[in-house]
Chain A
């Protein structure tokens, strides 16, 4: 197993970024949808659509970060294996 290189600044930023981004995208979808509903008189339709769009964006953000982390770990272990050989 490759020794983990600790980049605390990067990890802290990722944690901060993830939490706030997920909350912000859901809020944008929800309140954006509510504003559009009030403007076009479409009941709750666009609020629900906006919320779902925000939730989908939140999931995409989580998926992207997960993939990014996995890619970094794969690269790290490949580098370690190369050095070991």
Chain B
């Protein structure tokens, strides 16, 4: 247990240990899958009711990512991945708002563990480079030696910095917020932590937006014509 965070294995799937964070992530995935199923079943050519809302959100998402990536085709191609990032991180962050979450086994937000944020950042890292290779072919490797070969180490450090900054920022913000709430709950259990938890609603959304925006920006940069 580190700083009040639970670190216990709940059960094993063959040789693979499954801890409570993985179970929380499964629940979040199930919530997203059920939400997507309910939002897209029985779709009509002329939308009514909930379909209107879903279509409005999807259109807004496409427009937003088109603005960030400055290419409609790329935005539409990567919008499902980026939107899933946003929703998964948002629900993960909010799962820590259950009172006393950091102290109850099974209720720790997954994004307060760096293994989870590193895994999300690695997905972005691979999406960036796969996107780069699919757009530019082998010529994509040329950007590592721009403007000349002496810049190779600098460009490599820059590439490594992207997943590192995504990992540390999300983990640090959510972990820090959880710790402050946990200590405040310990010192003044009733009124004081609620103000910070209110702030956490905003912080959780901001962190989800920041991760998604930066991922979109990295993918947009690697796939752009000028790269």
Contact = CB atoms under 8 A, between A and B. Distances in A.
Contacts of A10: 67-68, 70
B158 A20 contact: no
A4 to B, nearest CB: 15
Most chain B Cβ neighbours within 10 Å, of A8, A24, A61: A24
Contacts, number: 57
A25 B68 contact: no
Query: For this complex, into which size category does the number of interface residues on chain A fall?
Result: 20 to 34
Interface in B140-162: 151, 153-154, 157-158, 160-162
Given A9-B68, A13-B216, A28-B160, A21 B154 contact: no
Interface in A41-73: 53-54, 56-57, 60-61
Most chain B Cβ neighbours within 10 Å, of A20, A27, A29: A20
Given A54-B157, A61-B158, 11 more contacts: A7-B67, A8-B67, A9-B64, A10-B67, A17-B214, A20-B214, A53-B153, A57-B157, A60-B151, A60-B154, A60-B158
Query: For this complex, into which size category does the number of interface residues on chain B fall?
Result: 20 to 34
A29 to B, nearest CB: 7
A16 B161 contact: no
B213 A12 contact: yes
Contacts of B64: 9
23 contacts: A7-B67, A7-B70, A9-B67, A10-B68, A16-B210, A16-B214, A17-B214, A20-B169, A20-B214, A21-B158, A23-B165, A24-B162, A24-B165, A25-B161, A27-B164, A28-B157, A28-B160, A28-B161, A29-B157, A53-B157, A54-B157, A57-B154, A57-B161
Interface of B: 64, 67-68, 70, 151, 153-154, 157-158, 160-162, 164-165, 168-169, 210, 213-214, 216-217
Nearest to B68: A9
B158 A25 contact: yes
Contacts of A14: 217
